[in-house]
């Protein structure tokens, strides 16, 4: 079973959500519902499964329901209808006590506007989750210190959040979330307040961290490049509806509708597409024209960005090999140009 | 529709019923009802019989109430009086330089070691006695009553504010009561106190509490409601229980507002204790009253100045502490 399973979630904001529900279930869209009833549709029949150990990126424009979706996973918001399963447990069936235990044990969250405690020092902020779990003081100080060092904020332990810049505060939020060593990490636009350099550094750090710790991460962003860089799978929300879920290359190569198309229009394909997706399989490739002296072997997971200079400059052919070292296909300038110019 | 009409009908019926009752119980009614129709003079001057006997009802009801529950009020009376007296005795026994020293120390630490404020407050305290030696003890008396009143305000007001912030139903029930309490002229608050406890310091405390508690309740509620939702969500996301959330996050972050509530509460308490001199509460207020009665402008002004000084001292103490917390939560840019 999947780590997180979301089934047919509806969330309607307003005084009488249940009365509006049937209207939404019958296909009325967000604008219509708002106009006729004054209720806001947060989520409209969203179903997802997120596997253990993957980074699932949820993307969409402002107001599309990303924050609302992520808050259903730790039940900061109760759905109007639908089911949320985490580790095969129905989160909605938990009573008040159980939900506290569940949050302590399984997950932590990074907030869009940081959500730091202004009256606590940085180290106290980072240690908050452990404080709630009643970890002894010196132990939690030690863990918190480790996390502060990891995000590069040593020296700021005894400052207050308001004394730090936005980017630094965001890193405190990240350190706080990691301090409890949760199975699941919910990150609501965790990098949006960072400048481009630190941002890309933090993205790489997250990928590294993920390769070591293998957590399940739900990551929200409205930045396509970020989602392509981080996501094992990407879900795209529009007006509360999930319009497409898939691997990054699926989204680039086969956008489900105009909304997604508009999203991926300007993306740098060479940074997203990998050798194995654009190659011609070995059995279909005419190997007769290959000059062995200008053939280079590349791993199948290489981004084609790295192949372009080789192919274009030296007119060479790329031999794509898999992890075991067997050749699975070839890429020549023909495959490359097709991949880079494909329009849907 | 029909139900609406029926509800509207109850009002005139109730009104007529009140009229009949007051007519029947009146001692000055005409010999027969028929007279009202033949002699129309009652339409020009307000007739003596058209008088709802509220006074009699309240007096009767109060008598019964007093017989039944008077004993409890006596206990409360003794307790409060004891508290005031021991606080007063303690403060009066202390040599006055020590009291000034205490005030200075409190201000110094609560303001975060601000020398200017501390010196200023020290001088204000000194000048209370310096105006007239008699004022020193009077000021202590006033302060003792206020302190007890403020403590009761805090014990009642903060939990009430917390309850309001947690539950909209509670808020909707309490808000109109607070509004009513704030619209009634302060002088009227003396009434229930006198009814239950007679004259003196205890009714002054009761009046003080009723008068001064609303801002504290409101500001506690406001302070908690204003805490950033994402900060609350962060606490919840880590599995904080409602109690951990309240004590660890909401109250500390609401503290600047709560302190402001206590500050307002203090100022209103002072105003009330001064007014309470009219029901025989001793303190700086009765000096003003005395001055006015004797047409001694100098005396009244001197006492008035002493009250202002006391107000400044109390204001600085409560303000300084709140300001310091606020500074910590939002340090200088
Ligand atoms: N508490 C609430 N009450 C009423 N409406 C809400 C509430 N929270 C969210 N909404 C509505 O739900 C919709 C989705 O909001 P949400 O915060 O999930 O958007 P988002 O995708 O996270 O946007 P952003 O990128 O700006 O953070 C919006 O239309 C918003 O107005
Ligand atoms: Mg959001």
pLDDT digit string (tens) for A53-82?
A: 999 999 998 999 999 999 999 999 999 999
- Beta strand A327-331 with A280-281 is antiparallel
Q: Which of B27-41, B149-163, B278-292 has the lowest mean pLDDT?
A: B27-41
* Secondary structure E strands in A195-309: 216-221, 233-238, 241-246, 280-281, 295-299
Highest mean pLDDT among B73-87, B223-237, B283-297, B303-317: B223-237
Position A195 pLDDT exceeds 90: no
What fold does the segment set B70-329 form as a domain? MetI-like fold (1.10.3720)
Taking residues A184-194, report their average pLDDT.
89
Task: Please check whether residue A108 touches B, CB under 8 A.
Answer: yes
**List of chain B residues whose C-beta atoms are within 8 Å of the C-beta of residue A108:** 237-238
pLDDT one-digit tens code per residue, A316-334: 888 888 888 888 888 888 8
Q: Residue B228: its pLDDT value, please?
A: 92
Q: What's the farthest any 2 CA atoms get from each other in chain B?
A: 83
Say which residues have a Cβ less than 8 Å from residue A128's Cβ, sequence separation at least 6: A117, A120, A176, B234, B235, B238
Q: Which residues line ligand 1 (CB under 6 A)?
A: A 13, 40, 42, 60, 62-68, 112, 222
Taking residues A124-139, report their average pLDDT.
95
pLDDT one-digit tens code per residue, B106-144: 888 888 788 888 999 999 999 988 988 888 989 999 999
- Beta strand A295-299 with A317-321 is parallel
Give A56's DSSP letter.
E
Q: B230, A108: Cβ pair inside 8 Å?
A: no
Task: Please check whether residue B247 touches A, CB under 8 A.
Answer: no
Q: What is the pTM of this model?
A: 0.82
Helix axes B297-329, B115-131, angle to 10 degrees: 160
Integer Cα distance of A284 and A261 in angstroms: 30
Integer Cα distance of A174 and A187 in angstroms: 8
Task: Please check whether residue A118 touches B, CB under 8 A.
Answer: yes
Q: What is the CATH number of domain A275-341?
A: 3.90.1280.20
CA atoms A113, A118, A121, A126: torsion sign = negative
**Residue B73 CA, distance from chain mean position:** 19
Task: Please check whether residue B330 touches A, CB under 8 A.
Answer: yes
Position A129 pLDDT exceeds 90: yes
Give ion ligand 2 contacts, CB < 5 A: A 67, 112
Q: Which residue has the higher pLDDT, B5 or B250?
A: B250
Q: A119, B238: Cβ pair inside 8 Å?
A: no
Integer Cα distance of B272 and B259 in angstroms: 20
Task: Please check whether residue B253 touches A, CB under 8 A.
Answer: yes
Q: Which of B85-89, B279-283, B301-305 has the lowest mean pLDDT?
A: B279-283
CA of B263 to the centre of ligand 1 (A): 38
Please name the residue whose Cα sits nearest to atom 10 of ligand 1. A42
For residue A161, the number of C-alpha atoms closer than 13 Å in the C-beta half-sphere is 21
CA distance B330 to chain A (A): 6
Position A309 pLDDT exceeds 70: yes
What residue spans in chain A does CATH classification 3.90.1280.20 cover? 275-341
Integer Cα distance of B227 and B114 in angstroms: 28
**List of chain B residues whose C-beta atoms are within 8 Å of the C-beta of residue A109:** 233-234, 237
Q: What percent of chain A has pLDDT over 90?
A: 54
pLDDT one-digit tens code per residue, A253-278: 888 899 888 888 878 888 888 888 88
- Give the residue from A76, A77, A166 with the most B CB atoms within 10 Å of its CB, the best one to mutate: A76
**List of chain A residues whose C-beta atoms are within 8 Å of the C-beta of residue B238:** 103-104, 108, 128-129, 132, 180
Q: What's the farthest any 2 CA atoms get from each other in chain A?
A: 72
Q: What percent of chain B has pLDDT over 90?
A: 37
Position B333 pLDDT exceeds 50: no
Cβ burial, residue B115 (10 Å; 0-12/13-18/19+): exposed
Q: Residue B329: its pLDDT value, please?
A: 63
Where are the domains positioned within chain B? 4-43, 70-329
Q: Which atom of ligand 1 is nearest to the CA of A42?
A: 12
The torsion defined by the Cα of A10, A43, A267 and A56, in degrees rounded to 10, comes to -50
Task: Please check whether residue A134 touches B, CB under 8 A.
Answer: no
Taking residues B242-263, report their average pLDDT.
93
Taking residues A32-56, report their average pLDDT.
93
How far CA A22 is from CA of A12, A26, A48, B1, in Å, comes to 11, 6, 21, 30
Please name the residue whose Cα sits nearest to atom 28 of ligand 1. A63
Q: Residue A95: its pLDDT value, please?
A: 93
Taking residues A209-235, report their average pLDDT.
90
Position B148 pLDDT exceeds 60: yes
Taking residues A99-107, report their average pLDDT.
93
Looking at every residue in chain B, the average pLDDT score rounds to 87
Q: Which of A167-171, B63-67, B78-82 has the lowest mean pLDDT?
A: B63-67
How far CA B60 is from CA of A251, B24, B51, B53, B57, in Å, comes to 84, 17, 17, 11, 5
Integer Cα distance of B84 and B281 in angstroms: 12
Give residue A143's pLDDT band: very low, low, confident or very high (50, 70, 90).
very high
Position B202 pLDDT exceeds 50: yes
SS3 for chain B is CHHHHHHHHHHHHHHHHHHHHHHHHCCCCCCCCCHHHHCHHHHCCCCCCCCCCHHHHHHHHHHHHHHHHHHHHHHHHHHHHHHHHHHHHHHHHCCHHHHHHHHHHHHHHHCCCCHHHHHHHHHHHHHHHHHCHHHHHHHHHHHHHHHHHHHHHHHHHHHHHHHHHHCHHHHHHHHHHHHHHHHCCHHHHHHHHHHHHCCCHHHHHHHHHHHHHHHHHHHHHHHHHCCCHHHHHHHHHCCCCHHHHHHHHHHHHHHHHHHHHHHHHHHHHHHHHHHHHHHCCCCHHHHHHHHHHCCCHHHHHHHHHHHHHHHHHHHHHHHHHHHHHHHHHCCCC
- Within 10 angstroms of residue A296's Cβ, the number of other Cβ atoms is 13
CATH superfamily of A50-79+92-268: P-loop containing nucleotide triphosphate hydrolases (3.40.50.300)
What residue spans in chain A does CATH classification 3.40.50.300 cover? 50-79+92-268
Q: Residue B318: its pLDDT value, please?
A: 84
Q: Residue A342: its pLDDT value, please?
A: 61
Give residue A286's pLDDT band: very low, low, confident or very high (50, 70, 90).
confident
What's the distance, Cα to Cα, between the start and end of chain B in Å?
Answer: 61
Q: Residue A343: its pLDDT value, please?
A: 58
How far CA A270 is from CA of A55, A274, A303, B57, in Å, comes to 21, 8, 7, 91
Give A97's DSSP letter.
H
Q: B239, A114: Cβ pair inside 8 Å?
A: no
Q: Which residue has the higher pLDDT, B42 or A128?
A: A128
| b/e code A149-187 from CB counts within 10 Å (16+ = b) | ebbebeebbebbbeebeebbbbbbbbbbbbbbebbbbbb
Highest mean pLDDT among A285-299, B99-113, B144-158: B144-158
Position B331 pLDDT exceeds 50: no
């Amino acid at each position: 079973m999947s780590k997180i399973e979301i089934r047919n979630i509806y969330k309607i904001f307003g005084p009488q959500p249940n009365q509006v529900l049937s209207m939404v279930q019958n296909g009325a869209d967000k604008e219509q519902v708002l106009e006729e009833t004054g209720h806001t549709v947060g989520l409209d029949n969203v179903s997802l499964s997120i596997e253990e150990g993957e980074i699932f990126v949820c993307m969409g424009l402002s107001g599309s329901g990303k924050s609302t979706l992520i808050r259903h996973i730790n039940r900061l918001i109760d759905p109007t209808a639908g089911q949320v399963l985490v580790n095969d447990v129905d989160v909605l069936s938990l009573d008040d006590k159980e939900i506290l235990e569940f949050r302590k044990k399984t997950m932590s969250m990074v907030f869009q506007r940081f959500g730091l405690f202004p009256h606590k020092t940085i180290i106290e902020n980072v240690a908050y989750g452990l404080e709630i779990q009643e970890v002894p003081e010196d132990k939690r100080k030690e863990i918190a210190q480790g996390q502060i060092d990891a995000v590069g904020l040593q020296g700021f332990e005894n400052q207050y959040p308001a004394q730090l810049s936005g980017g630094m505060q965001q890193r405190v939020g990240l350190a706080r979330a990691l301090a409890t060593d949760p199975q699941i990490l919910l990150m609501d636009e965790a990098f949006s307040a960072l400048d481009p350099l630190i941002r890309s550094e933090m993205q790489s750090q997250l990928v590294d961290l993920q390769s070591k710790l293998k957590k399940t991460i739900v990551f929200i962003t409205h930045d396509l490049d970020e989602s392509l860089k981080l996501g094992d799978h990407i879900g795209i929300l529009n007006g509360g509806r999930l319009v497409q879920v898939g691997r990054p290359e699926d989204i680039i190569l086969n956008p489900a509708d105009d909304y997604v198309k508009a999203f991926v229009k300007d993306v740098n394909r060479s940074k997203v597409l990998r050798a194995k997706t654009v190659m011609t399989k070995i059995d279909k490739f005419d190997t007769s024209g290959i000059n062995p002296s200008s053939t280079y072997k590349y791993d199948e997971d290489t981004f084609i960005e790295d192949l372009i200079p080789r192919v274009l400059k030296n007119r060479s052919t790329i031999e794509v090999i898999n992890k075991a070292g067997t050749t699975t296909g070839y890429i020549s300038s023909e495959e490359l140009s097709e991949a880079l110019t494909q329009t849907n | 529709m029909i139900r609406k009409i029926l509800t509207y009908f109850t009002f005139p019926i109730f009104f007529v019923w009140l009229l009949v009752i007051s007519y029947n119980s009146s001692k000055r009614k005409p010999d027969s009802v028929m007279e009202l129709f033949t002699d129309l003079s009652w339409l020009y001057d307000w007739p003596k019989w058209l008088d709802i006997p509220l006074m009699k009802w309240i007096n009767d009801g109060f008598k019964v109430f007093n017989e039944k529950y008077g004993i409890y009020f006596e206990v409360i009376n003794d307790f409060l009086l004891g508290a005031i007296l021991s606080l007063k005795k303690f403060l009066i026994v202390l040599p006055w330089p020590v009291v000034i020293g205490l005030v200075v120390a409190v201000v110094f630490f609560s303001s975060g070691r601000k020398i200017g404020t501390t010196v200023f407050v020290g001088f204000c305290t000194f000048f209370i006695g310096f105006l007239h030696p008699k004022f020193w003890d009077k000021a202590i008396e006033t302060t003792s009553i206020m302190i007890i009143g403020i403590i009761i305000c805090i014990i009642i007001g903060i939990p009430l504010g917390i309850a309001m912030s947690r539950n909209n139903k509670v808020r909707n029930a309490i808000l109109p009561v607070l509004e009513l309490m704030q619209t009634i002229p302060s002088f009227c608050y003396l009434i229930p106190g006198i009814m239950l406890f007679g004259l003196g310091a205890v009714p002054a405390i009761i009046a003080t509490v009723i008068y001064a508690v609303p801002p504290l309740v409101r500001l506690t509620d406001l302070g908690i409601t204003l805490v950033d939702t994402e900060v609350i969500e962060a606490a919840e996301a880590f599995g904080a229980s409602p109690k951990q959330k309240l004590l660890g996050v909401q109250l500390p972050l609401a503290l600047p507002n709560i302190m402001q509530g206590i500050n307002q509460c203090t100022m209103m308490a002072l105003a009330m204790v001064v007014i309470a001199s009219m029901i025989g509460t001793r303190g700086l207020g009765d000096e003003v009253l005395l001055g006015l009665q004797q047409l001694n402008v100098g005396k009244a002004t001197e006492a008035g100045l002493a009250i202002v000084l006391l107000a400044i001292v109390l204001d600085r103490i409560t303000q300084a502490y709140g300001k310091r917390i606020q500074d910590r939560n939002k340090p200088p840019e």
